[in-house]
Structure 1
Amino acid sequence: MALLQGTHLTVAAADLRTGDHACLFYGSEAEQLAVLGSLVVAGLASRHRLLLLVGGEGPRTSCDLLDRCRIPAKASGAGRGATAEQIRILDAEEFCFHEGNIEPRRMVGRLRREADRAATDGYGGLRVIGDMSVALRGKDAVGRLLHYETLLAREFRHGFTLAVCQYDARHFEASQLKAFATAHPRSVEVEPLVRTAELRVIRTYQPHGLRVEGIVDVHTHRHLRSALEVLAPIDGDVCLDLSRLEFLDLGGLRLLVTFAGSRDGGSQVELAGLAPHLREVISLVGWDETPGLRLGANDGH
């Protein structure tokens, strides 16, 4: 999310390590499940115990979790039967509330016991993934949540536990989200669709689209093309964030323009953060008249 830019490090879900304390501010179930799936797969592969704090219609069993995140049994490393003990699922409301209010010290104490239990059971770490959106009630709920986050950061410095606190951005004010952002050294995003030495392409959800980083040339065209195919099922407008591109050759630019022209139903493809010289190229060759193509603001260079 834009409000996090410049405040702390944003990392892919699979790059988190024990000792990390990160947040996810999601705006849709699809975004939440995409990140959750990456966290679960990485946790199972690392032989961490996973502790999920879920609310509402969240998964209640390990099989429910794998199904909702579309994780095949083979991705768990040993099949679904072997994950029942590795994945523990707790009700987030029961975890957070005591006598109608959030009790930060009680919550952290419970996590401490879960960490001790995971270590005793032979796991290499405890991976806590909690949806804190359910905690918006009771006396001074936001203040108590911030206190909990501060305690959590101190608790997990020793490096055995990894915590990812999820917040549904639709239920919080912008000022509240900024306060929660400052309580986390990292924010987490979906695993890149493309991750090479030259190019990273990350799926975005607010707005729907892709963020393209690095170098697009003859060696990476096929990676960009495959990433663009992920957007094919999406109805409506999409945004391609090019503000972090280091280089985009003519062939790559043609790929983006062709993709915009192939969209059905009058939907538009915005090229955001496009460098001024690339805007000039598009105008010179007449691509700015391509149906479905919209040129967003440039990156200021």
Structure 2
Amino acid sequence: MPETTMAATLGGVSLDAGDHLCVFYRGQEERDRLLLPFLAEGLRAGHAVLYLGREGEKDTIAARLGGRGNLEIGEPEDGHLRDGRYSPEDLFERLDDWVARTLSSGAAPFGRTAGDMSWASRLMSPGLVPELVGEEIAVTRWLRQYPLVVLCLYDLDLFGGELIIPMVKAHPKVWMAGTLVENPYYLRSTESVVRR
């Protein structure tokens, strides 16, 4: 039985319950160097772990983590997308269901979730950016109800300034180039983040 702790780290940096990080990385190799230890640490600690990954990587990530513990892995259609269309309602349904089965039920004392946002690169449009900003701000409010840490992973090789700058403003903390920053640019309202 793993020793249960109520703590998480990313790249050796301590995180607190309620932390919602925008994690910028370049390429899948760098993502995996950050992501896999974060998820594995949670499994060893007895945490509930949810990863919403890229299309087609569910089995690969499960195998790399040994498929053990309180681990759930989904792909874009299991969270952000419904029939290939962006659906934040489906994401929150999935998150609420996961929390009910794990944290609220007492099956785990602490949780961590990570979402690879690469799917959004295929759907980029001026209308998508304010929707994503609104979702990220809602995630910050939602997760503060629970003993939980959330990482949103954005590949700098896939996204330009039209998404990166609003995503910085939509997250209370930002991880870039091995550094975690309390975000002085964080704004709590979509009106403040994206001009319409």
Name the TM-score class by shorter chain.
0.7 to 0.9
Contact (CA 8 Å) 1:105, 1:148: kept in 2 or not? no
| The one of 129, 152, 156 aligned to 2:114 | 129
Provide the C-alpha distance between the structure 1 equivalents of 2:45 and 2:13, rounded to a whole number of angstroms: 10
Q: CA deviation at 1:27?
A: 0.8
Q: CA deviation at 1:135?
A: 2.4
Corresponding residue SS for 1:38:
helix
1:39-50 correspondence runs (5 A) = 39-50=38-49
1:91-106 correspondence runs (5 A) = 91-106=75-90
1:270-289 correspondence runs (5 A) = none
Q: CA deviation at 1:133?
A: 1.3
**Structure 1, unpaired ranges of 5+:** 1-10, 67-79, 191-201, 205-301
Provide the C-alpha distance between the structure 2 equivalents of 1:89 and 1:114, rounded to a whole number of angstroms: 11
Corresponding residue SS for 1:133:
helix
Contact (CA 8 Å) 2:52, 2:75: kept in 1 or not? yes
| The one of 140, 146, 150 aligned to 1:163 | 150
- Distance change (3 Å), C-alpha of 1:13 and 1:176: farther
Count how many residue pairs are aligned between Structure 1 and Structure 2.
167
Contact (CA 8 Å) 2:20, 2:150: kept in 1 or not? yes
**Structure 2, unpaired ranges of 5+:** 1-9, 180-196
Provide the C-alpha distance between the structure 1 equivalents of 2:87 and 2:141, rounded to a whole number of angstroms: 16
Matched, 1:107 2:91: yes
Q: Which residue of 2 aligns with 1:182?
A: 169
- Distance change (3 Å), C-alpha of 1:56 and 1:107: closer
Q: CA deviation at 1:177?
A: 0.5
CA displacement 1:3-50 (0-9 Å, x = unmatched): xxxxxxxx7455123211001111122210111123123312332111
Structure 2 counterpart of 1:104, one-letter code = P
Q: CA deviation at 1:146?
A: 1.5
Give TM-score scaled by structure 1 length: 0.50
Contact (CA 8 Å) 1:13, 1:188: kept in 2 or not? no
Q: Of the two structures, which has the highest relative contact order with CA contacts closer than 8 Å and spacing of 6 or more?
A: 2
Contact (CA 8 Å) 1:54, 1:89: kept in 2 or not? yes
Provide the C-alpha distance between the structure 1 equivalents of 2:92 and 2:13, rounded to a whole number of angstroms: 24
Provide the C-alpha distance between the structure 2 equivalents of 1:100 and 1:57, rounded to a whole number of angstroms: 14
Contact (CA 8 Å) 2:21, 2:150: kept in 1 or not? yes
**For structure 1, which segment, 57-66 or 26-35, has the greater mean C-alpha deviation from structure 2 after superposition?**
57-66
Structure 2 counterpart of 1:88, one-letter code = E
Provide the C-alpha distance between the structure 1 equivalents of 2:31 and 2:40, rounded to a whole number of angstroms: 14
C-alpha RMSD over aligned residues:
2.5
Matched, 1:141 2:128: yes
CA displacement 1:52-71 (0-9 Å, x = unmatched): 111134242664232xxxxx
- Distance change (3 Å), C-alpha of 1:180 and 1:154: same
1:260-271 correspondence runs (5 A) = none
Q: CA deviation at 1:111?
A: 0.4
Corresponding residue SS for 1:60:
helix
Structure 2 counterpart of 1:154, one-letter code = R
- Distance change (3 Å), C-alpha of 1:122 and 1:130: same
Contact (CA 8 Å) 2:118, 2:158: kept in 1 or not? yes
Q: CA deviation at 1:126?
A: 2.1
Provide the C-alpha distance between the structure 2 equivalents of 1:132 and 1:65, rounded to a whole number of angstroms: 20
